[in-house]
Amino acid sequence: MLFYAILGGIGLVFLVSMLLAGDLFGDHGDVATLADLHADADGAGGGPSFLSTRVMAAFMTAFGAGGMVARYFGLPHVAAAPIGVGSGFVLGGIVYQFAKLLHSQQASSEVQLHQLVGQSAHVTVGIPAGGVGQVTLTFAGQQTTQIARSVDGTAIQLGAAVVIAALRGDTLVVVPEGAIRGGA
């Protein structure tokens, strides 16, 4: 019974530590696979893992508790171990499903610059000749403000309507809206 009590206690200590410390053992403690890294690079987002520290700590806690209860009722280790494993899978599965539910409720507010090409914006800080200014636009329901320069290096006045033509590093390259209409 002592073996199960120690394992359950270690798992419980980890669970309580994660509860009190928050992000200390959060997403950074999860085991990442190559598929997870590929999904993150594609912007698909991974979500929780069966191998996350929370799920493993819940499994360990339930394994210890299930094994202790089985030993308390006089069952041999041959029967107590499978009961502990079953208890671990049940609680680990519940924790995993709860984490999956919480992850699905999250919304991404990240705007990627390449998505802004072709969008209309307004100059909020004038763009001097050969220099940079600032544009503001609403994209995907979110207002964003970005550094911008004109496509041909000419000045663009404050308040002018522009279209984002390209990217140069992390700077938007813009053209006055009238220049596009006039050239079409």
Dig out the tokens for 136 from the structure.
């503001």
- Main-chain dihedrals φ then ψ at residue 160, nearest 5 degrees: -70, 145
Are both 100 and 145 inside the same structural domain? no
The Cα 55–Cα 66 span in angstroms is 16
Domain-ending residue, one of 86, 104, 122: 104
Are both 97 and 125 inside the same structural domain? no
Are both 156 and 117 inside the same structural domain? yes
Residue 85: domain span: 2-104
Report field, pTM of the whole predicted structure over 0.95: no
Are both 23 and 50 inside the same structural domain? yes
Dig out the tokens for 129 from the structure.
């000749």
Cβ(73)–Cβ(24) below 8 Å: no
CA diameter of the chain: 88
User: Can you give the pLDDT of all 184 residues of the chain as single tens digits?
Assistant: 888 889 899 989 988 887 777 654 444 444 444 444 444 443 445 677 888 888 899 999 999 999 999 999 999 989 999 999 999 999 999 989 988 888 777 655 566 778 889 999 999 999 999 999 999 998 878 888 899 999 999 999 999 999 999 988 888 999 998 776 554 4
- For residue 26, the model assigns a pLDDT of 47
Are both 56 and 147 inside the same structural domain? no
The Cα 70–Cα 79 span in angstroms is 8
Are both 6 and 46 inside the same structural domain? yes
Amino acid symbol at 64:
G
Cβ(64)–Cβ(55) below 8 Å: no
- Domain tally, the chain: 2
Are both 155 and 174 inside the same structural domain? yes
Domain of 168, CATH number, reads: 2.40.50.140
